[in-house]
């Protein structure tokens, strides 16, 4: 049997699960089994866990439904475990380097202990020094193994489950399992410390607990199963302690620590927005029932709270709590537009009720009618015609909108009034930070690509990017307005969770802008090619390089005329620079058609027979068409070090990878850009990144967000094998034979 079984629940932390698993598998001590616990085989984390299991036989995922909670997930992992000792690691935490070797050495020194308590650090999610909250407590412990009575203040209540190692046979002998409900660490810690006969400590930080930006899930508003469950755990532990007939020296610290947790919850109004009187009354009954005779109350303000709880003086306790709340209330003003008249109009509009039939859209900071917002807007006019839809556009770009689309100019009085009263706000970037998130309004963030490069707060460790990103604090203030965040694949779901931590709900519905790749016909493809000026019978290669943060302007990175000459006489290039460089100027020639200013990227993709890109997210969208993709990665090492990336593109590409202009031209000249090997790479890429795009994404979004249909009523995503992409132009089959199939 392995020395250690490490159990890692993963609910809600798929975005960082790989880091947790890597921290375990990268340990110098390798006698272990790693048990990720996933919600089910189709859960976001299950894909991550399955990948690790395929690479390392020590990884053995198990499943536990979300309804079982954290305790149920840990119990499922425990049942599957075969190790001598168990460790519990949350899916967004890290096992520090050398941890298992240190644990093994300490367990050898204190052979046979039931529980080994260890230090952990609590790392702020964003910045600041990590804290080691239990070091003072463990510093008082004896050097070797000892009985719990020798250190009565080590009750287990103050330590999370991942701050200890447990002997599996001890847990089985006493039939110990995590209690149901929330606050299971309180119940588990108390029960295991009561049952243990020999314990020890390791004065070393073993786990780095990374605090969530959203705070603990236990802080979610009650009074339902969340906060009232705390009292269930307290009663469970105190009942068990009474059955053990503990001495006053042991029972007293246990009682004090349990009610310190209770009072901390009762003192936080955001945890108990309703039902707080019932919570307080039940807590008071438990306090009087279990308080040992003659047990002294704490001094200071905590003692005041104990006395109020002991007599059930809820009104006095609430008054004390209200004083604390008012003291800490922020005095800042609401965010507002800058201009005085506009600010006054906006303030007045905020006092009017929301318009339940008004939706405001914006794309790319007002560049025009484009991307996911435009696709949702079009579908809403079909499925929800009662909703008035208004597009926001920057001044000077009004002409880019279709004539039948209602619009308002960004920054105008009318735009701010619409933003103040709209129930639905839909954007693929972000609305201005001065936009107020009103109660009852619904903000949908559609995103505008699948992330290869780092995004959001993940950019903070890349100085060139961070310097251009502005305030991350302001960014996260905008994220806090999101109610829904759209995703085209599980990779995106996980990365958005990391890059934009917030309380939004992920909608794994696909990208509405990609619907056209499954609904367009051959006639549509031919029409777009004519509009763009693609000569008949030519192979249209779309060249779409991404933005470089370390460049000051657009640099094609490739001599396109030379490429055309070397790739073949039937090749023409559709050049689409990153939208940052759309300044209205065109770069046309006989073989190059500049489509940067064309308003619809989807049309350009439909017209192209093949795509050449470096690291642009357009590759993920284009893959839906199942047409050849070539990656031109001439500066990959520079790019990944200056911008940061989420996966190794050259190792997992959608097609051939070229490092030099000569290699790039060669794959077109010899036909390998479209051979069987290229198709195999593309198939794997599509399976990973085209998971939810099936031609019905816009419909799913409209039904869920605008029409309020429940998730179970939304049409499921069609399997990839059943989807039929828009046909490519006939020029895809070139006149010269392909050497790979000759």
Tens-place pLDDT, residues 579-619? 444 444 445 678 899 998 888 899 999 999 999 999 899 99
Cα separation, 624 vs 566, in Å, equals: 28
> CB of 630 within 8 A of CB of 643?
no
Q: How many CB atoms lie within 10 A of CB 132?
A: 13
Does an H or E element contain 60, and which? Answer: none
> CB of 133 within 8 A of CB of 219?
no
User: What mean pLDDT do residues 247-276 have?
Assistant: 83
Cα separation, 692 vs 44, in Å, equals: 13
User: What mean pLDDT do residues 367-381 have?
Assistant: 95
Q: Where are the alpha helices (DSSP H) in 267-332?
A: 276-290, 300-310, 314-328
Cα separation, 242 vs 256, in Å, equals: 15
Q: Look at residue 485 and give its three-state secondary structure.
A: strand
Residue 8 pLDDT greater than 80, yes or no: yes
Give 146's Cβ-side CA count (13 Å radius): 16
pTM: 0.71
> CB of 333 within 8 A of CB of 350?
no
More confident position, 677 or 469: 677
Residue 637 confidence (pLDDT): 86
Average pLDDT over the chain, rounded to whole? 87
- Return the closest-CA partner of residue 673 out of 567, 576, 602: 567
CA distances for 599 relative to 369, 372, 584, angstroms: 8, 13, 11
Specify the DSSP class assigned to residue 353: P
Residue 733 confidence (pLDDT): 43
Does an H or E element contain 467, and which? Answer: helix 463-469
* Tokens 């690291």, residue located: 615
Contacts of 333 (CB under 8 A, 6+ apart): none
β-pairing, 484-486 with 571-575? Answer: unpaired
Q: In which band, very low, low, confident or very high, does the pLDDT at 460 lie, cut at 50, 70 and 90? A: confident
Q: In which band, very low, low, confident or very high, does the pLDDT at 738 lie, cut at 50, 70 and 90? A: very low
- Return the closest-CA partner of residue 579 out of 605, 532, 616: 616
More confident position, 53 or 220: 53
304-313, 485-494, 507-516, 699-708: which range is least confident on average?
Answer: 304-313
Cα separation, 716 vs 227, in Å, equals: 35
């Amino acid at each position: 049997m392995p020395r250690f079984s490490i159990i890692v629940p993963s609910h809600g932390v798929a975005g960082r699960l790989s880091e947790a698993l890597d921290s375990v598998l990268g340990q110098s001590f390798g006698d272990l089994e790693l048990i990720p616990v996933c919600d089910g085989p189709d859960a976001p984390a299950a894909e991550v866990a399955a990948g690790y299991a395929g690479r390392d036989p020590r990884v053995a995922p198990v499943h536990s439904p979300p309804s079982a909670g954290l305790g149920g997930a840990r119990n499922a992992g425990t049942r599957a475990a075969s190790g001598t000792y168990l460790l519990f690691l949350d899916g967004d935490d890290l096992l520090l380097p050398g941890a298992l070797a240190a644990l093994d050495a300490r367990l050898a020194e204190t052979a046979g202990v039931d529980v080994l308590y260890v230090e952990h650090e609590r790392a702020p999610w964003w910045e600041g020094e990590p804290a080691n909250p239990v070091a003072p407590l463990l510093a008082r412990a004896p050097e070797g193994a000892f009985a719990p009575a020798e250190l009565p203040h080590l009750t287990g209540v103050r330590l999370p489950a991942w701050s200890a190692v447990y002997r599996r046979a001890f847990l089985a002998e006493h039939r110990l399992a995590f209690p149901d409900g929330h606050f299971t660490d309180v119940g588990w810690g108390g029960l295991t410390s009561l049952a243990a006969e020999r314990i020890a400590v390791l004065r070393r930080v073993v786990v780095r607990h990374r605090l969530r930006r959203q705070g603990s899930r236990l802080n979610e508003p009650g009074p339902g199963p969340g906060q009232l469950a705390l009292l269930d755990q307290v009663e469970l532990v105190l009942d068990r302690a009474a059955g053990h007939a503990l001495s006053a020296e042991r029972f007293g610290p246990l009682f004090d620590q349990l009610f310190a947790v209770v009072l901390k919850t009762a003192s936080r109004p955001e945890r108990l927005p309703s039902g707080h009187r019932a919570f307080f009354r039940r807590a008071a009954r438990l306090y009087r029932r279990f308080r040992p005779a003659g047990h002294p109350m704490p001094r200071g303000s905590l003692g005041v709270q104990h006395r109020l709880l002991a007599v059930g003086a809820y009104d006095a306790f609430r008054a004390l709590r209200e004083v604390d709340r008012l003291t800490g209330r922020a005095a800042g003003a609401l965010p507002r537009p800058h201009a005085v008249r506009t600010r006054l109009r906006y303030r007045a509009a905020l006092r009017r009720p929301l318009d339940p039939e008004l939706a405001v859209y914006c794309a790319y900071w007002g560049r025009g009618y484009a991307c996911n917002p435009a696709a949702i807007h079009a579908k809403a006019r079909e499925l929800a015609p009662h909703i008035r839809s208004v597009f926001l556009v920057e001044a000077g770009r009004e002409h880019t909108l279709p004539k039948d689309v209602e619009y308002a100019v960004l920054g105008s009085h009318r735009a701010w009034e619409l933003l103040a009263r709209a129930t639905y706000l839909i954007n693929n970037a972000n609305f201005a930070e001065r936009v107020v998130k009103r109660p009852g309004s619904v903000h949908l963030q559609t995103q505008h690509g699948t992330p290869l490069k780092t995004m959001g707060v993940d950019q903070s460790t890349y100085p060139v990017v961070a310097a251009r990103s502005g305030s991350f604090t302001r960014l996260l203030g905008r994220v806090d307005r999101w109610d829904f965040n759209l995703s085209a694949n599980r990779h995106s779901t996980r990365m958005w969770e990391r890059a934009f931590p917030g309380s939004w709900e992920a909608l794994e519905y696909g990208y509405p802008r990609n619907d056209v790749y499954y609904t367009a016909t051959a006639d549509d493809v031919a029409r777009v090619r004519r509009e763009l000026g693609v000569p008949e019978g030519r192979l249209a290669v779309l060249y779409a390089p991404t933005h470089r943060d370390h460049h000051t302007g657009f640099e094609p990175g490739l001599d396109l005329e030379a490429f055309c000459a070397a790739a073949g006489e039937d090749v023409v290039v559709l050049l689409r620079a990153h939208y940052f460089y759309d300044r209205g100027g065109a770069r046309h020639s006989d073989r190059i058609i500049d489509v940067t200013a064309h308003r619809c990227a989807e049309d350009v993709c439909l017209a192209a027979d093949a795509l050449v890109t470096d690291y642009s997210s357009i590759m993920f969208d284009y893959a839906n068409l199942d047409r050849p993709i070539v990656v031109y990665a001439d500066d990959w090492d520079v790019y990944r070090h200056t911008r940061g990336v989420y996966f190794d593109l050259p190792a997992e590409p959608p097609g051939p990878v070229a490092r030099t202009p000569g290699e790039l031209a060669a794959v077109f000249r010899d036909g390998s850009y479209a051979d069987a090997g290229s198709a195999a790479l593309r198939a794997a890429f599509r399976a990973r990144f085209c998971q939810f795009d099936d031609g019905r994404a816009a419909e799913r979004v409209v039904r869920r967000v605008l029409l309020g249909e429940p998730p179970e009523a939304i049409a499921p995503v069609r399997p990839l094998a059943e989807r039929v992409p828009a046909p490519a132009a006939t020029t895809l089959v070139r006149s010269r034979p392909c050497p790979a199939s000759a």
